Amino acid sequence: MEQILVTGGTGFLGYHIVNEAIGQCYAVKAIVRKHSDVSFLSQLDCHIIYGDITSKQDVTEAVKGCHYVIHCAAKTSQTGKLNEFIPVNVTSIQLIIEACHHFNVKRLVYISSANSFTNGTKINPGTEDSGFMPWLQKSGYAMSKHMAQNMLQKACNDKNIDAVIVAPTFMIGAYDVKPSSGKLLLQGLKRIALYPPGGKCFVSVTNVANATVNALKKGKSGEAYLLAGINLTYGEFFRIVGKNSSKKQILIKVPGLILKLAGLIGDLLISMGNDVSYNSLNIRLLMLSNYFSNHKAKKELGLKDTEINSSVQDAIDWFTENNYI
């Protein structure tokens, strides 16, 4: 059995990648931080090791003996300055590139972000050729992922490494422990659900995991692939959530002007030294019609179509079983 190192295995996508890789008959080694909650990951047939992906020694030891690496770990907070994201999101990819080169790893698959590309409309969704949105340079998360992606593509061009970049859109499914994207679904389960203008490209997390593992042997080195699903407005998504939960809903669309004012207030509070989770940048991101195409990933990585109702139902069932609801 060929061995894969997976970083970020305790995360929402990381757990599904480990599970998918095992299902595709790979031996999986997962590196996690000390004191991480491995209660779900430990139920899978994988070897768990503890280490720091910003430590050269830990990364080198983890990559040693592996045929492939899937780098999923990241700092994903939507607030914070760029320097707060550099160690986990940028330094780690440099260390992994060096280790993969040293040990002649067959391929590295890097989990980037759809924020590294420009969104489109439902009629003309964003593609891998759309480029980075300059205004997102102010986002520590988006900018750090963009920097890491550029670093990896340069390493591929210099023939130092064989690597593929995958960029998931907004993932839906079970095992969202923290939760991350599941926060939006939980909001949609409330009796009164407030939603903003705009929308997202919703994708099944199991489909993302499947295409990511496929990328170990499919796709072209140095290429990026948007792992996208179905483009929906927030209102359309919340109606699907309500239908699958069989709960009566009152849906209220929040005017964009009110959200923009909230963002400005957040900016003011942050400038005064307060720890606030919203600002003008986040509000702008929230209100985007964040729509993307999956044509390239379907053709080259075998990305499956997202069945949104089953993905939503999987998430609802899991949240219910684990007392989130």
Q: What is the pLDDT of residue 176?
A: 92
pLDDT digits (tens, 9 = 90+) for 94-151: 999 999 999 999 999 999 999 999 999 999 999 999 999 999 998 999 999 999 999 9
Q: Which two three-digit tokens encode residue 296?
A: 């390239």
In a domain, 243, yes or no: no
What is the pLDDT confidence band of residue 29, given thresholds at 50, 70 and 90? very high
In a domain, 96, yes or no: yes
Does residue 79 surpass a pLDDT of 90?
A: no
In a domain, 181, yes or no: no
Does residue 269 surpass a pLDDT of 90?
A: no
Tell me the residue range of the domain where 95 lies.
3-175+200-230+290-306
- pTM here is 0.93
Angle at alpha carbon of residue 267, lines to 193 and 169, rounded to 5°: 50
Residues 117 and 169: beta-carbon distance below 8 Å: no
- The CATH code of the domain that includes 71 is 3.40.50.720
In a domain, 254, yes or no: no
Residues 31-47 have a mean pLDDT of: 92
Q: Average model confidence (pLDDT) for the chain?
A: 93
Q: What is the pLDDT of residue 273?
A: 81
In a domain, 49, yes or no: yes
How does strand 199-204 pair with strand 230-233?
A: antiparallel
Return the HEC string of 225-270: EEECCEEEEHHHHHHHHHHHHCCCCEEEECCHHHHHHHHHHHHHHH
pLDDT digits (tens, 9 = 90+) for 217-235: 999 999 999 999 999 999 9
What is the pLDDT confidence band of residue 263, given thresholds at 50, 70 and 90? confident
Number of domains in the chain: 1
